[in-house]
Chain A
Amino acid sequence: MHFMVMVRANEDTESGRLPTTEEFTAMLKFNEELVKAGMMLGGEGLQPSSKGAARILFEGDKRTVVDGPFAESKELIAGFWLLQAKSRDEVVEWMKRCPNPTRGKSVLEIRQVFEADDFGEAFTPELREKEKRLGETAARQQAKG
């Protein structure tokens, strides 16, 4: 099973403050432990929303782009890990050992990644195939105009 663990942003992460050497070393050490446990599939820390952030709002066919920074820091993500584990509980136990990722109160959110089988009956290979064929037919019809 694969899981994504997200670090929720807060005022600290949004301030753009860089981690101290101690904080950096502690996190590096923790990440090394995840690597040694064979669980680490990937992970990144994200810039504050004042730097390089944008949102695209969808409404029907309409798309509106809104540039950062964004005010509601609690709704933002400051970083993530992608982990392979045998169970959610295993991820919980590991992440309890994570050094506090921000100064102050932090929230880590654990979410299970969808795998093809999770779609169950609703997304069988036959349906998948049919969906693909429908897509191809539609494309051909469009091409014919």
Chain B
Amino acid sequence: MTATEAHRAIEAIWRIESAKVIAVVARMVRDVGVAEELAQDAFLTALKQWPEAGVPQNPGAWLTATAKNRAIDLMRRQKRGQEKYAEIGREMERDQAAMPDLDSALDDEVGDELLGLIFTACHPVLSTDARVALTLRLIGGLTTDEIARAFLAAEPTVAQRIVRAKKTLGEAQPDFEVPRGAERAGRLASVLQVIYLIFNEGYSATAGEDWIRPQLCEEALRLGRILAGLAPQEPEVHGLVALMELQASRLKARVGPRGEPVLLLKQDRGRWDHMQIRRGLMALQKGEALAGAEPGPYLLQAAIAACHARARTGDETDWARIAAIYGRLGALAPSPVVELNRAVAVAMAEGPAAGLAIADAIAGEPALKDYHLLPSVRGDLLAKLGRFEEAGAEFARAAALTRNERERALLMERAEAAARGEVA
């Protein structure tokens, strides 16, 4: 093995093992920042030793053991006076003594630590931005530069965000354990939200820097699958994975030849990724079986996405079922946005007048004041009812509200079509 080959191998091993190493050490030293540094120390040692000595049989166990030893050294040096740390140090030494054979320390036994680290990175003491950055950095193994490019942010900004997040966690002293009991549901919701945010950041981008954006969707999917592997008994985790797989299956069909967005019903369904749809439907099935009669919001959203995925053509879409699921979703977590979506589904199932009645009922909601999809939906329904003048005004209003250039162009076209008395 040449030095370059060894370096490439070590970097790949780092990507595979870093989260687990950090997770194990974080539980010892109770500090993510220190844990990351110690893990990086171990990695640097590997870079020095492995090109000559060769890559060990079980590189993950080697890295973990090396980082653990560093942690013990550090704790001895730093905290001699503090009984708590000394005790942890002794415990670890006993563990070391009881585990002379590196190869017997199997990778899959760190599942709990890794899950604990995911919960810590998504800890409620952190801002949402910080949770996202820390999760991508610690669990996804992305560099600060990669995260910055993915979120179209400056690298120093992201670096700062991560430093501050680690400091906040250092002060908050979380226990790095997997939350149990009543706390668990809320903490899990935060983890799911972070992963879904990462996914949506990739999914909602259209043109421009789009080359890196699908990568964010992939990263989110991978994080979701990791979580599903670590917490397979949680129905909502499968729900989120299903939702992301089903939405991502449409990625290629969502953008037209000139980079313009293509609406769901106008998409070429032949360009949907049907293998991905199958994976999504399988995850949905798993989640629904676990949830029984009470599916959570991710499972419900996945069930809606599945209605679209199962329809071979737009006309075959089961809109009545979609409207009913939106109804359940709204009952679970009342939201004018969900209600607006229900209006669209009801319009498709029962006609534009029924949908418009629902949309009109929420038109005064303060949360929808600057939401371009409200006038956009109303415009569409009004046009279908032949009320073109009102429709044109709504489309123009929607065009003024959207921040996406492509979408603005599309809405202006529809406003002009309405002026000509066409539905478009």
Q: CB within 8 Å of B: which residues of A?
A: 29, 32-33, 35-42, 82, 84, 86-87, 89-90, 92-94, 116-117, 125-126, 128-129
Stretch at the interface among B168-176, B215-223, B408-416: B215-223
Contact B257 A37 (CB under 8 A): no
CA distance A87 to B11 in the complex (A): 10
List B194-234 residues whose CB lies under 8 Å from chain A.
Answer: 211, 218, 221-226, 229-230
Contact A93 B13 (CB under 8 A): yes
Contact A35 B229 (CB under 8 A): yes
Cβ proximity bits B265-281 to A, threshold 8 Å, 1 near / 0 not:
00000000001000100
Shortest Cβ gap from B286 to chain A (Å): 12
Contact B257 A84 (CB under 8 A): no
Contact A37 B16 (CB under 8 A): yes
Is B107 among interface residues, defined by CB-CB distance under 8 A?
A: yes
Contact A126 to B225, CB < 8 A, known contacts A33-B107, A86-B15: no
Give the contacting residue for A38; candidates B13, B111, B211, B223; CB below 8 A.
Answer: B223
Is B56 among interface residues, defined by CB-CB distance under 8 A?
A: no
Contact B257 A92 (CB under 8 A): no
Q: By CB atoms of chain B within 10 A, which of A37, A42, A93, A128 has the most?
A: A93
Give the contacting residue for B257; candidates A40, A87, A94, A129; CB below 8 A.
Answer: A129
Is B48 among interface residues, defined by CB-CB distance under 8 A?
A: no
Contact A90 B16 (CB under 8 A): yes
**Please, which residues of chain B bring their CB within 8 A of the CB of A39?**
222, 225
Besides the known contacts A87-B15, A93-B9, 6 further A-B residue pairs in the complex with CB atoms under 8 A apart: A38-B222, A41-B275, A89-B11, A116-B252, A125-B256, A125-B257
Is B259 among interface residues, defined by CB-CB distance under 8 A?
A: yes
Give the contacting residue for B218; candidates A84, A87, A90; CB below 8 A.
Answer: A84
Contact A126 to B257, CB < 8 A, known contacts A32-B108, A90-B16, A93-B13: yes
Is B88 among interface residues, defined by CB-CB distance under 8 A?
A: no
CA distance A38 to B15 in the complex (A): 13
Contact A89 B8 (CB under 8 A): yes
The closest CB in chain B to the CB of A41 belongs to: B279
Shortest Cβ gap from A58 to chain B (Å): 23
Contact B225 A35 (CB under 8 A): yes
Interchain Cβ contacts within 8 Å, total number: 63
**Please, which residues of chain A bring their CB within 8 A of the CB of B256?**
125, 129
28 A–B contacts, CB within 8 A, in A order: A29-B108, A32-B108, A32-B229, A33-B108, A35-B229, A36-B108, A36-B229, A36-B230, A37-B226, A37-B229, A38-B223, A38-B225, A39-B222, A39-B225, A41-B275, A86-B15, A86-B141, A87-B12, A89-B8, A89-B12, A90-B16, A93-B12, A116-B252, A117-B211, A125-B257, A125-B259, A126-B257, A126-B258
CA distance A41 to B225 in the complex (A): 10
Which 9 pairs from chain A and chain B are nearest by CB? A36-B229, A38-B225, A89-B12, A38-B222, A38-B226, A129-B257, A125-B257, A93-B12, A90-B12
Contact A36 B111 (CB under 8 A): yes
Q: For the side of the interface on B, what is the size category?
A: 20 to 34
Contact B221 A92 (CB under 8 A): no
Cβ proximity bits B1-22 to A, threshold 8 Å, 1 near / 0 not:
0000000110111011000000
Give the contacting residue for B221; candidates A32, A84, A93, A94; CB below 8 A.
Answer: A84
**Please, which residues of chain A bring their CB within 8 A of the CB of B9?**
89, 92-93
Shortest Cβ gap from B156 to chain A (Å): 24
Is B86 among interface residues, defined by CB-CB distance under 8 A?
A: no
Shortest Cβ gap from B369 to chain A (Å): 36
**Please, which residues of chain A bring their CB within 8 A of the CB of B229?**
32, 35-38
Q: By CB atoms of chain B within 10 A, which of A35, A40, A86, A126 has the most?
A: A86
Contact A90 B108 (CB under 8 A): no
CA distance A39 to B279 in the complex (A): 13
List B240-260 residues whose CB lies under 8 Å from chain A.
Answer: 252, 255-259
CA distance A94 to B60 in the complex (A): 11
Shortest Cβ gap from A113 to chain B (Å): 11
